[in-house]
Amino acid sequence: MHQLTLAEIARGLADKKFSSEELTKALLARITQLDPQLNSFISLTEDLALQQAKAADARRANGENGALLGAPIAHKDLFCTQGIRTSCGSKMLDNFKAPYDATVVAKLAAAGAVTLGKTNMDEFAMGSANESSYYGAVKNPWNLEHVPGGSSGGSAAAVAARLLPAATATDTGGSIRQPAAFTNLTGLKPTYGRVSRWGMIAYASSLDQGGPLARTAEDCAILLQGMAGFDANDSTSIDEPVPDYSASLNGSLQGLRIGVPKEYFSAGLDPRIADLVMASVEELKKLGAVVKEISLPNMQHAIPAYYVIAPAEASSNLSRFDGVRFGYRCENPKNLIDLYKRSRGEGFGPEVQRRIMVGAYALSAGYYDAYYLKAQKIRRLVKNDFMAAFTEVDIILGPTTPNPAWKLGAKNSDPVSAYLEDVYTITANLAGLPGLSMPAGFVDGLPVGVQLLAPYFQEGRLLNVAHQYQQNTDWHTRTPTGF
């Protein structure tokens, strides 16, 4: 049963081949048995899951249908879940039980999805390897000595290991697409404003966006359908009708114009990944696509701009964790200043502290113009590059990451070397564009992802291209040995 996709589960439940309760019990048992190798869950929510599964079975018995009704999923542990620990991967929130459900959580629960648990993540979603979590590193099921990517590494490892069919995740600079690439999954970062951020603990508010991680584009369409939509509680949510994503999957790719940016194939890219990317282009050409070289000239400035803007916003967002209102409080504070200092010093891990310091510095008087304002100007140039490219092509294609998953610990002593691995993903966040990563082959037994980018609100186009590719290739069906 654990090999079933969301689409297959929906059919199996509709045909009464199994109940949601049976499926939920089987997957919970599988998680208990296999997750100790991976560490992909921070909390299991067995009681809630069984209660939701029974309720979904009852709704189906009453004639209700729906692709997510009775489907087991998990939430990245930064989506607030009422009465359930919502840790954000941090000691700071280890004791925090959210008083309400995030919009994404509430919408998926209303659609009948069953929450199996909360997945591990980099602390406050800062990272690309899932090694900054207070709850320990997550292992890549394709090779337990390698990282699964981050920050949504728990969601990715769990889905890749067939512990469950799909999970929610978030992407501030690549945290859906990069772990998807590292674990052979399909992951979609929607257009900024497409999925509500209400109840999603903020890292960098102008970049954060929730989205689905699953094995196939077809399943991403199902999960995104349940997540997307306007939310009056999120001031950056966009009031734009949500199309039927599953209906977009089968469009023909005849005449689709694919742009391949020449800047993507610069020095840092593993040549074996470059070959797999070009092989995916050939595959799409067979389906009728036409390919054109394009240029994104400001891409080289994107990493420095992102690593000013994201920490700047984080330093502001994380000021609310002060030992007074949320989460961790130090023992025996001597006075208020001591309470603030020690609660934050003891509650936040080293990567989070580094980002807060960089962000506070970039925003401070005298440096604001030189760093933060400059970075915002670069952000506009990055966006303008994309706008120009999308007058010539329908979709942009390239590698998701310059290298496959690295070994656990390999980049611990040099954070900047990890930041550089975000080179292909962060531009979509800076511009607010939707992006998808899909499986496209292996290097040394480790998965490789191809990234597709589309104009605003063209998630359906991304899913269409990925689905057609997956109808003609079988990379996405490969299962890691031992799972």
Stretch that binds ligand GLN, among 42-50, 119-127, 277-285, 446-454 (CB under 6 A): 119-127
Burial call 217-255: b when 16+ CB within 10 Å, e when fewer: bbbbbbbbbbbbbebeebeebeeeebeebbebbeeebee
Shortest distance (Å) from residue 305 CB to ligand GLN: 12
Active site residue 175: yes
Distance CA 152, CA 170 (A): 7
Stretch that binds ligand GLN, among 40-48, 173-181, 284-292, 471-479 (CB under 6 A): 173-181
Which CB, 121 or 258, lies closer to ligand GLN? Answer: 121
Contact call for residue 175 and ligand GLN (CB under 6 A)? yes
Whether the CB-CB separation of 71 and 168 falls below 8 Å is answered with no
Which CB, 13 or 314, lies closer to ligand GLN? Answer: 314
Can you say how many angstroms the Cα of residue 1 is from the centroid of all Cα atoms in its chain?
Answer: 25
Contact call for residue 173 and ligand GLN (CB under 6 A)? yes
Shortest distance (Å) from residue 210 CB to ligand GLN: 11
Considering only residues 395-434, where is the footprint of ligand GLN by CB under 6 A?
422
Active site residue 319: no
- Binding ligand GLN (rule: CB under 6 A), the pick from 66, 127, 259, 439 is 127
Shortest distance (Å) from residue 208 CB to ligand GLN: 7
Contact call for residue 43 and ligand GLN (CB under 6 A)? no
Shortest distance (Å) from residue 359 CB to ligand GLN: 11
Mark 241-280 with x for binding to ligand GLN (rule: CB under 6 A) and - for no binding: ----------------------------------------
Shortest distance (Å) from residue 121 CB to ligand GLN: 8
- For residue 460 the two structure tokens come to 């359906």
Amino acid at 259: G
Q: List CB contacts of 125: < 8 A, sequence separation 6 or more.
A: 78, 88, 89, 151, 152, 170, 172, 175, 203, 208
Using DSSP, state whether 214 is helix, strand or coil.
strand
Active site residue 252: no
Q: What is the phi/psi pair of residue 59, to 5°?
A: -65, -40
Q: How many residues bind ligand GLN (CB under 6 A)?
A: 13
Which CB, 126 or 465, lies closer to ligand GLN? Answer: 126
- Binding ligand GLN (rule: CB under 6 A), the pick from 56, 68, 108, 125 is 125
Mark 297-316 with x for binding to ligand GLN (rule: CB under 6 A) and - for no binding: -------------x------
Shortest distance (Å) from residue 123 CB to ligand GLN: 10
Distance CA 157, CA 35 (A): 9
Identified catalytic residue from 20, 175, 196, 248: 175
List beta partners, residue 168.
212
- Binding ligand GLN (rule: CB under 6 A), the pick from 120, 151, 237, 343 is 151
Phi-psi bin for 31: left (phi > 0), alpha (psi -120 to 50), beta?
Answer: alpha
Strand-pair category, 114-119 with 72-76:
parallel
- The single residue listed with the structure tokens 């009948």 is 112
Identified catalytic residue from 151, 196, 315, 437: 151
Identified catalytic residue from 43, 76, 132, 315: 76
Contact call for residue 172 and ligand GLN (CB under 6 A)? yes
Considering only residues 177-216, where is the footprint of ligand GLN by CB under 6 A?
203
Beta-carbon-side half-sphere exposure of residue 18 (alpha carbons within 13 Å): 18
Whether the CB-CB separation of 51 and 28 falls below 8 Å is answered with no
Contact call for residue 126 and ligand GLN (CB under 6 A)? yes
- For residue 49 the two structure tokens come to 């899951």
Q: Measuring CA to CA, which residue among 161, 136, 150, 122 is closest to residue 35?
A: 161
Which CB, 321 or 419, lies closer to ligand GLN? Answer: 419
Q: What is the phi/psi pair of residue 241, to 5°?
A: -60, 145
Contact call for residue 156 and ligand GLN (CB under 6 A)? no
Stretch that binds ligand GLN, among 9-17, 171-179, 440-448, 457-465 (CB under 6 A): 171-179
- Binding ligand GLN (rule: CB under 6 A), the pick from 128, 248, 315, 427 is 128
Helices 153-160 and 20-38 pack at an angle, to 10 degrees, of 110
Which CB, 343 or 429, lies closer to ligand GLN? Answer: 429
- Residue 416: Cβ-neighbour burial (10 angstroms; 0-12, 13-18, 19+): exposed
Beta-carbon-side half-sphere exposure of residue 442 (alpha carbons within 13 Å): 14
Contact call for residue 323 and ligand GLN (CB under 6 A)? no
Contact call for residue 219 and ligand GLN (CB under 6 A)? no
Q: List CB contacts of 233: < 8 A, sequence separation 6 or more.
A: 103, 196, 198
Stretch that binds ligand GLN, among 4-12, 81-89, 120-128, 139-147 (CB under 6 A): 120-128
Q: Catalogue the active-site residues.
A: 76, 151, 175
- Which residues sit at the interface with ligand GLN, rule CB under 6 A? 125-128, 151, 171-175, 203, 310, 422
